[in-house]
């Protein structure tokens, strides 16, 4: 097994992926071992350039993939720190994400990462409590 390196790979299918790569040349035919490959797309708008990152294989939990060299058009090692940082941040966020975000009916369960802080009833109780406390303080101030 060779050394690991970050690479951008263009496949014969037309896909362009970024991955941590090793080359296994111990067999008859060299095989490229990809660890957590991702697809990156750039978008341009009036706010600037944005990069969308998604897993290369979305419906699997595997981290390693093996590709023979006949499926690769070109492979280039990247030392672009910005790309590597985006890649590593995506992997860290993916590791921290909960897999069980759906209810049994298929609806998404909101959580704090989505901006969900409390239910309507909990928020109402908290706000009414704050209002009551302020009203009591105002009454004390007017009576003094």
Q: How many domains does the chain have?
A: 2
**Mean pLDDT on 37-65:** 88
How many whole angstroms from its chain centre is CA 59?
14
**Mean pLDDT on 25-37:** 91
Q: Which residue has the higher pLDDT, 112 or 86?
A: 86
Q: How far apart are CA 37 and CA 19, in angstroms?
A: 4
Q: How far apart are CA 36 and CA 17, in angstroms?
A: 10
Q: How far apart are CA 98 and CA 24, in angstroms?
A: 33
Q: Are residues 134 and 112 in the same domain?
A: yes
CATH at residue 81: 2.30.30.100
Q: Are residues 86 and 123 in the same domain?
A: no
pLDDT band at 70 (very low <50, low <70, confident <90, very high): very high
Q: Are residues 114 and 68 in the same domain?
A: no
Helix H or strand E segment including 94:
helix 81-96
**Mean pLDDT on 74-80:** 92
Q: Are residues 137 and 91 in the same domain?
A: no
């Amino acid at each position: 097994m060779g050394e690991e390196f970050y690479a951008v790979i263009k496949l014969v299918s037309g896909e362009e992926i970024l991955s941590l790569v090793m080359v296994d040349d111990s067999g008859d035919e060299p095989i490229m071992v990809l660890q957590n490959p991702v697809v990156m797309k750039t978008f341009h708008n009036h706010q600037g350039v944005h990069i969308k990152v998604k897993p290369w294989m979305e419906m699997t939990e595997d981290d390693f993939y093996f590709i023979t060299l006949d499926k690769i058009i070109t492979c280039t090692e990247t030392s672009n720190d910005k790309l590597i940082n985006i890649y590593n941040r995506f992997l860290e966020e993916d590791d921290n994400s909960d897999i069980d975000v759906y209810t049994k009916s298929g609806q998404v369960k909101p959580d704090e990462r989505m901006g969900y802080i409390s239910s309507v009833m909990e928020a109402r109780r908290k706000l009414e409590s704050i209002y009551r406390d302020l009203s009591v303080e105002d009454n004390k101030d007017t009576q003094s």
